[in-house]
Amino acid sequence: MLSNGLDNVRITGFLSEKEKLLYLGASDVAINPMSSGSGTNIKMFDFMAAGLPVISTGIGSRGITNIDYAGILIRDRSDIQSSLQDLMDDDQKAQNLGNDNRELVERNYLWERISPQLGSFINNIIARKIIGVNQVMTRGGNKKFALMSSWNLRCGIAEHSRHLANEFEDMNLDFRIIANSNGDLANSYLIEDISRNIYPLWKYDYLNWKDTTIDIAGILHTMRCEEISKFNLQYHIGFFNQQMMKVLVRACIDEEIEISITLHNAREMDIETLSELSQLGLKMFVHNSEEETWMKDQGIHNVFHIPLGVLNFPDEEKNDCRNKYGISGNPVIGSFGYLRPHKGIIEAIEAISLLKNHYPNIKFLGVNALYPSEDSEKYLRNCHKRIDELELNENVTLFTSFLEMKHIIHYLHACDVIVLHYHDSKEGSSAAANTAISARRPLIISKSGIFNEIKNVGYILENIDPPSIAAEIQSLLSKPKVLAKMKTKVVNYMNENSYMKSAEKYVELIIGDK
């Protein structure tokens, strides 16, 4: 065993499998500082299987993730030392990340799981070729359809579409996914997606917002080959402009494809575009009942309201979650959503500073993943600066990695209340708010239009300046009966607006007779 002259470095040379496992078992953290190469590093799976947090370069984790995910931290080589020191100073964080990696590898990468699903996938393809069919008989006939949306991106609409797809599969429906070709998390859902019919036929420019492309010919070819005549487009004007959308719509109509559109921000669209879609006879779906009313008042026909779905997770006792995930403090105030300036996290930090005078051990738990944009990175730096200025390092914890939904819910279950004090928005509905609802905690929201659909579910803040936020939180925390009623409203809404019910309404409107 060589040390290369350094007392704290050991170079083992070739190891047997048994010896390798012993070394991994004795380790606290794994690093993978590769700067070049191709293919997926098998060692990454060894690290994760050993329950170790991993600090890796993007090259070292290629084929698995290119962003922070589960217990994998993506860093430039120059930043590995500081990240390693951070983990060494926080045993609980290192343990949680290691546990996340173990869960990830068990769920997505075990041979026992990959082999049966891969075999089933291959057998299904062979069966389709032999029998000459590629359909599922449901509700009295062959009813295929396609769903076009963002996919495997850090995007609320991508998550919404994935939840719908899960429900469609549970309903034994035969559907295709027209996805973007630049998913950030393609391999995170490897097992889930391996048997799905996914066609990457558009490219989403979510960084510069100007170079999105759509392979319309490829979409139409897929529709013809798969004998699909029902098509739903999950549309946001940030995906591609309205003119591109209309070109796609007319191309589908010319091919006698019955296209419907889910509008995720109808109020920001041109009224002329909406009128044109209405005149073409398209069904348009919105997630906000007020948007439905507004469109109908504008003379727009064929508008249907489908509430944004809510996931159903079993409740957990908040103190159990705090103990399990090392969350200190009481009370615990939570927030959720991508870390962007309009989410108001700095205002929350300043409100926590005011509340600290009354609750010395208060904790703000911001489950706010970084968005792949410069404004998100800058905002994170500003948040940390404000935390330092207000001496709140013990009172504020920000989780900025992209977490799996079940881990998000675990953290939100540790909270007494969840606060979403967003600045004003013209978006139709908030996927983040529905995730917060699925956590079954009392919900406090701003007067932003994005929360119109749930204004009767959450407690509405009249103002979102830090003193107002602090005063309202302090008042509510002193009223346990009010908090209990708030939680009941949240749970009732969750039960009434499950993703199963949302998916059923989609099916009724897309492939049904209405």
The DSSP annotation for 291-303 comes to HHHHHHHTT--SE
Rounded Cα gap, residues 257 and 477, in angstroms: 54
pLDDT of residue 134: 44
Q: How many CB atoms lie within 10 A of CB 423?
A: 14
Integer Cα distance of 332 and 325 in angstroms: 13
pLDDT at residue 427, as a whole number: 62
Contact of 188 with 65, CB cutoff 8 Å: yes
Task: Say how far apart CA 292 and CA 284 lie, in whole Å.
Answer: 9
Whole-number pLDDT of residue 513: 52
In angstroms, the first-to-last Cα distance of the chain is: 73
pLDDT tens figures, 130-140: 444 444 333 44
> Based on the number of CB atoms within 10 Å of its own CB, is 419 exposed (0-12), middle (13-18) or buried (19 or more)?
buried
> Using alpha carbons only, how large is the chain's radius of gyration in Å?
25
How many Cβ atoms from other residues are within 10 Å of residue 497's Cβ? Answer: 20
Determine the pLDDT at residue 118.
Answer: 58
Closest to 444 measured CA to CA, from 327, 376, 322, 348: 348
Alpha-carbon span 61 to 31, nearest angstrom: 10
Give the model confidence (pLDDT) of 2-54 as tens digits: 555 667 888 887 888 888 888 898 999 999 999 887 667 888 999 999 999 99
Query: Contact at 8 Å (CB) between 91 and 85?
Result: no
For residue 357, give the amino acid letter.
N
- Round to whole Å and give the CA distance between 297 and 496: 27
Alpha-carbon gap, residue 80 to 62, rounded angstroms? 17
Tell me the two tokens of residue 31: 């690093």
The segments of the chain whose pLDDT lies below 50 read: 128-141, 186, 514
What is the pLDDT, as a whole number, of residue 116? 60
Coil vs helix vs strand at 377: helix
- Identify the structural domains of the chain with CATH numbers, from first to last: 17-108 (3.40.50.2000), 132-309+500-510 (3.40.50.2000), 318-497 (3.40.50.2000)
- Farthest CA pair distance, the chain: 80
71 touches 45 (CB < 8 A): no
Tokens standing for 405? 């939904």
